[in-house]
Amino acid sequence: MKYNSTNNSTNNPSHQVDLKEAILRSLPPDNGLYMPDQLPTLGEDFWAISRELSFQEIGIAVADAFFGEDVPLDALKEIVDGTLAFDAPLVTLAPGDHILELFHGPTLAFKDFGARFMARLMAWLTRDEDRELTVLVATSGDTGGAVASAFHNVPGTRVVILYPKGKVSGLQEKQLTAIGGNITALEIEGTFDDCQALVKKAFLEREVAERMNLTSANSINLSRLVPQTFYYIHSARQLPEGVRPVFVVPSGNFGNLTAGLLAKKLGLPVEHFVAATNRNDVVPEYLRNGKYEPRPSVATISNAMDVGSPSNFVRMSSLFENSWDEMKLSISGMSFSDEVTRAAVREVNSLYDYQIDPHGAVGWLAAEKYRALHPGSVTITLETAHPSKFPDIMDAELGLGAVEIPERLAVLADKEKVATTLSKEWEPFRDWLEANIR
Ligand SMILES: *Cc1c(COP(=O)(O)O)cnc(C)c1O
The atom number, within ligand 1, closest to the CA of 250 reads 10
Residue 109, SS3 per DSSP = strand
- Choose among 208, 318, 238, 253: nearest CA to 111: 253
Relative to beta strand 214-216, strand 133-138 is parallel
Q: What is the tens place of the pLDDT at every residue in 56-94?
A: 999 999 999 999 999 999 999 999 999 999 999 999 999
Options 20, 77, 111, 200, the catalytic residue: 111
Whole-model pTM? Answer: 0.93
Spatial separation of the C-alpha atoms in residues 277 and 359, rounded to whole Å: 9
310 Cβ closer than 6 Å to some ligand 1 atom = no
Q: What is the pLDDT of residue 9?
A: 67
- How high does pLDDT run on average in the chain? 93
Instruction: Please tell me the residue having the least CA distance from ligand 1 atom 11.
Output: 384
Q: What is the pLDDT of residue 25?
A: 80
Residue 10 in this model has a pLDDT that exceeds 70: no
30-34, 242-246, 289-293: range with lowest mean pLDDT: 30-34
Query: What does the pLDDT average to over 145-162?
Result: 92
232 Cβ closer than 6 Å to some ligand 1 atom = no
218 Cβ closer than 6 Å to some ligand 1 atom = no
Spatial separation of the C-alpha atoms in residues 412 and 414, rounded to whole Å: 6
105 Cβ closer than 6 Å to some ligand 1 atom = no
Q: What is the tens place of the pLDDT at every residue in 381-393?
A: 999 999 998 989 9
- Choose among 179, 225, 222, 218: nearest CA to 201: 218
Domains delineated in the chain: 87-107+223-405 (3.40.50.1100)
Residue 117 in this model has a pLDDT that exceeds 80: yes
CB-CB neighbours of 64 under 10 Å: 18
Residue 219 in this model has a pLDDT that exceeds 70: no
pLDDT grade for 221, boundaries at 50, 70 and 90: confident
Q: Which residues are bridge partners to 188 per DSSP?
A: 164, 422
The atom number, within ligand 1, closest to the CA of 140 reads 1
pLDDT grade for 379, boundaries at 50, 70 and 90: very high
The atom number, within ligand 1, closest to the CA of 252 reads 9
Spatial separation of the C-alpha atoms in residues 371 and 385, rounded to whole Å: 23
256 Cβ closer than 6 Å to some ligand 1 atom = yes
Distance between Cα 131 and ligand 1 center (Å): 32
Distance between Cα 312 and ligand 1 center (Å): 12
Q: What is the pLDDT of residue 109?
A: 94
Tallying the residues shown for the chain, one arrives at: 438
Query: What does the pLDDT average to over 205-230?
Result: 89
Distance between Cα 48 and ligand 1 center (Å): 32
Residue 11 in this model has a pLDDT that exceeds 90: no
Distance between Cα 72 and ligand 1 center (Å): 31
Q: What is the pLDDT of residue 41?
A: 97
Spatial separation of the C-alpha atoms in residues 249 and 311, rounded to whole Å: 16
Instruction: Please tell me the residue having the least CA distance from ligand 1 atom 14.
Output: 304
Give, rounded to a whole angstrom, the gap between the first and last alpha carbons of the chain: 32
111 Cβ closer than 6 Å to some ligand 1 atom = yes
Instruction: Please tell me the residue having the least CA distance from ligand 1 atom 15.
Output: 142
The atom number, within ligand 1, closest to the CA of 357 reads 13
Is 291 one of the annotated active-site residues of the chain?
no
